[in-house]
């Protein structure tokens, strides 16, 4: 197995990370086994940030572990920088940085001791103080890990992941447990890394994080990739919405408008109407034209494109409808109720 020379141009063409029909099974081939990843495929280009979204148990971390070389695929093929990340671990590891979901540093060491130890295992580490500055932990250098807050531990994880100046950075829920200010500081740091040419693969529960940082993203659900593209493209897979309230004395209903989706006009809870449309401009123009012609005043008029959040929820909902029996987690619960407040709940 001599994979030392992989043409860089070939890697850049195919993607710095490529995942091809990846399957990962836990617990053997019997009935007790469970396929955590079921035929996932995507690729990440050099210098971009690719976000992997999904509900809990969607298979994000299982996918990441294969890419990090921590686990073998049951089926399929993955390449990182042109190499098999598990077999060519010694070639790949010096060029990647890994931020696991948490834990993994002895609680009896200080922040500085931890990073010094980690730096001692790396090929070309940054100075420890530089890494501490980058994550804002310089003032905590002499503190034992058992005395750090969850957010500070998360930032220490990040410092360790970027300590080796990686070309490719894997971030598994990097901002979970951070306060909003630290989260934004982490985003700034990640943007800086992207500007310097680092390629980033990130998983997150925060849709805002993906929307802000990601060049492209994929939504995973039950081991499969069900949507992928730029944040705007993925959001656009969902209909846009126009909501308004008609005057109480208006006798006639809203006519059929071009672009609206079948059964889209629904009375909302507050007596208003919500239209779902695949062509916001066309439908909105027609609506306004009708209102002008009739002299109808549209109260609380609101028109907007779908958000990433709606696309994300639609994925979970689709699966539930198709008898998925997916355990709903915090993310979907929250946003489903948010939807209901907007008056579009079925």
Partner 1 sequence: MTTDGVGRGPASNRGASVSPRPGTRGAVADGVRRIVALGRAEALLLRRNAVALLVALTTPAATMFMITSSSESGAVEGFDAAASAVTGLAAIALLAAVYYNLVTALVARREELVLKRLRAGEASDSEIVIGTALPAVAVAWAQIVLGSVAAYALFGTAAPVNVLPALAAVVLGTAVFVLLAALSTVVTRSVEMAQVTTMPVLIVPLALCGLFFPLDDLPGPLEQVARMLPLTPVVDLMRLGLTGTTTDGRTVELAGSFGEAAGPVLVLVAWVALGGWAARRWFQWEPRR
Q: Report the interface residues with partner 1, using CB under 8 A.
A: 4-6, 8, 46, 68, 70, 90-91, 93-95, 98, 100, 102-109, 113-114, 116-124, 126, 130, 133-136, 155, 162, 164-167, 182, 185-186, 188-189, 191-193, 195-198
For partner 1, the closer CB: 90 or 251: 90
For partner 1, the closer CB: 107 or 149: 107
For partner 1, the closer CB: 164 or 231: 164
20's CB contacts (< 8 A; 6+ apart) are 41, 76, 77, 78
For residues 341 and 269, what is the distance between their CA atoms, to the nearest angstrom? 8
Q: What share of the chain is helix, strand, coil (3-state, %, to 5)?
A: 35, 25, 40
- Cβ atoms of residues 243 and 274 within 8 Å: yes
- Cβ atoms of residues 87 and 128 within 8 Å: no
Nearest-approach distance from CB 84 to partner 1, in angstroms: 16
Residue 293: how many other CB atoms lie within 10 Å: 8
For partner 1, the closer CB: 23 or 144: 144
For partner 1, the closer CB: 100 or 218: 100
Nearest-approach distance from CB 76 to partner 1, in angstroms: 21
Partners of 217 in the β-ladder: 51, 229
Nearest-approach distance from CB 153 to partner 1, in angstroms: 12
Nearest-approach distance from CB 231 to partner 1, in angstroms: 22
For partner 1, the closer CB: 167 or 173: 167
**What φ, ψ does residue 245 adopt, rounded to 5°?**
-120, 135
Nearest-approach distance from CB 51 to partner 1, in angstroms: 19
Nearest-approach distance from CB 77 to partner 1, in angstroms: 21
Distances in whole angstroms, Cα of residue 332 to Cα of each of 48, 148, 168, 237, 337: 27, 31, 30, 18, 9
For residues 68 and 93, what is the distance between their CA atoms, to the nearest angstrom? 8
């Amino acid at each position: 197995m001599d994979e030392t020379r992989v043409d860089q141009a070939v890697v850049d063409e195919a993607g710095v990370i490529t995942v091809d029909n990846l399957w990962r099974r836990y617990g053997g081939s019997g009935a007790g086994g469970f396929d955590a990843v079921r035929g996932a495929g995507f690729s990440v280009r050099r210098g971009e940030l690719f976000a992997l979204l999904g509900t809990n148990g969607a298979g994000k971390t299982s996918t990441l572990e294969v890419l990090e070389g921590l686990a073998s695929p049951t089926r399929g093929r993955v390449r990182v920088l042109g190499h098999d990340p598990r077999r060519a671990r010694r070639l790949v590891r010096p060029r990647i940085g890994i931020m696991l979901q948490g834990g993994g540093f002895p609680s009896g060491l200080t922040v500085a001791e931890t990073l010094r130890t980690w730096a001692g295992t790396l090929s070309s580490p940054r100075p420890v103080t530089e890494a501490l500055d980058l994550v804002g932990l310089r003032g905590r250098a002499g503190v034992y890990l058992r005395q750090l807050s969850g957010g500070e531990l998360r930032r220490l994880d990040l410092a360790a992941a970027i300590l080796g100046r990686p070309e490719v950075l894997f971030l598994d829920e990097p901002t979970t447990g951070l306060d909003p200010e630290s989260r934004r500081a982490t985003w700034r740091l990640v943007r800086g890394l992207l500007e310097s040419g680092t390629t980033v693969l990130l998983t997150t529960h925060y849709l805002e994080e993906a929307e802000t940082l990601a060049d492209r993203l994929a939504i995973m659900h039950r081991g499969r990739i069900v949507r992928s593209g730029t944040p705007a493209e993925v959001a656009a897979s969902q209909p846009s919405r126009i909501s308004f309230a008609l005057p109480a004395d208006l006798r006639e209903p809203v006519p059929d408008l071009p672009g609206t989706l079948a059964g889209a006009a629904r009375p909302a809870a507050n007596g208003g109407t919500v239209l779902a449309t695949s062509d916001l401009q066309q439908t909105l123009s027609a609506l306004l034209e009708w209102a002008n012609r009739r002299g109808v005043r549209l109260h609380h008029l609101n028109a907007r494109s779908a958000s990433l959040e709606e696309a994300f929820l639609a994925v979970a909902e689709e699966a539930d409808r198709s008898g998925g029996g997916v355990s709903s987690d915090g993310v979907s619960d929250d946003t489903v109720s948010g939807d209901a407040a907007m008056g579009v709940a079925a």
